[in-house]
Amino acid sequence: MERTSGRGLTVITGASSGIGAQLARELGKQGAALLLTGRNAERLRRVAREIETVEGVTVETVPADLTRTEGVDAVVRAIENRDVDVLINNAGFATYGPHHTIDPDTEASLISVNCGALVALTHAVLPQMIERGRGTVMNVASTIAFQPAPLQAVYGASKAFVLSYSEALHEETRSTGVCVIALCPGPTSTGFIAAMNSPEASQSTVYGKVDSAERVTRTAVRALRKRRAIAVVGIKNSLTMNAARFAPRSVTRRLAARMLRPR
């Protein structure tokens, strides 16, 4: 299999489970030296030990809660002035329900990790990547980024931020040898839905059927190789996202509301 990395360090956030852990396994298989971070220290160590045992590559771990400034600072300290070849900003979580019913502190934490930590870690590696003339930043957005998301207003907005931010940086860095990519999976079977602590979410059309972390990983690895600005997981999602671009906003937001409501 073609290597995605190999010259420097590959950093993956949210790597203790789900998409992040699966990406770590796949990139470890390709020979990447890994630095993994996640909130659950024990699960993170288990993933690291598995990869080291099976693939024989170096795996560093930095347990950190990226909703907190000290957690972000810990990861920045671990990677600053390092030869980071690939940064995958995968950490994030979602809320579900009418906006006025959701705890404001939880929404603030969502913005901190989905947007703030992602920007801080990108800032930590981008200057050195540009100076070296190589490197890739992959930010995990979502198909929800392409339209308003009633019942997931803040989560959808956070992913729209990630998409816009990544596209802008892709254009800024296109002549530098550095590439910034927005990976846009749909709902994925990773424990993500359970973490929302909203059983009714799984009764919606959107979350009633989920993709696999393995399929998302295959798309991500292909995107790292092809270095495109946006990588949407799955043909059906790609067609839906393209169709949404041409529909009136009033139609897309009402359709999104219908699909996100419990059936």
Round to the nearest angstrom and report the end-to-end CA distance of the chain: 43
The token pair that represents 31 in the structure block: 């020979």
From the list 96, 155, 165, 207, the catalytic residue is: 155
Q: In b/e form, how buried is each residue of 98-126, taking b as 16+ CB within 10 angstroms?
A: eeeebeeeebebbbbbbbbbbbbbbebbb
Instruction: Answer for the pair 29, 55: CB distance below 8 angstroms, yes or no.
Output: yes
Asked about 155 being catalytic, the answer comes back as: yes
The token pair that represents 147 in the structure block: 């339209």
CA distances from 41 to 14, 36, 49 (A): 11, 10, 12
The token pair that represents 198 in the structure block: 């909203």
Of 6, 23, 26, nearest to 15 (Cα)? 23
| SS3 of residue 189 by DSSP | coil
The set of catalytic residues is 155
